[in-house]
Amino acid sequence: MATAGNDSFIAEGMTPPQRILFPPEKICMVWQQRQSAGAGLRNVGNTCFLNAVLQCLTYTPPLANYLLSREHSQACRQQGFCMMCIMEAHVNKVLRSVSAILPLAVLRAFRFIGEHFQLGREEDAHDFLCCTVNAMQRACLSASNE
């Protein structure tokens, strides 16, 4: 089974991580603030796959709690594209708005999220989710190297 202490989330036989980006004890699985439904997302052409992924990520309480805290952007030193900063701005905008918004920051970063994505073309939501989460992880890993 799992071991005690900081390794309590590591299954038996697994090696512990070299570095912990976010301590498990700081993860809150429920909403820290009461949230009403935020803004909807406008579809521009074939962006329903993108909007579906953004809505899923926006309404995932542990991730939303972290992004609403703005902890990442306050410490971020990345130049240029940072998916965590983009998601942080997106979640804060969506959850503080009532009318539908266009996710412009994400659309502008579309090609950085995945080189193969093309605006106006139907894309796969699962592929976009994987690329988005990978881009968020790369942003966290590069920030932790400093």
63-97, pLDDT tens digit by residue?
999 999 999 999 898 889 999 999 999 999 999 88
- What average pLDDT does this structure show over 20-24? 72
Cβ atoms 128, 117 nearer than 8 A: yes
Q: What is the pTM of this model?
A: 0.79
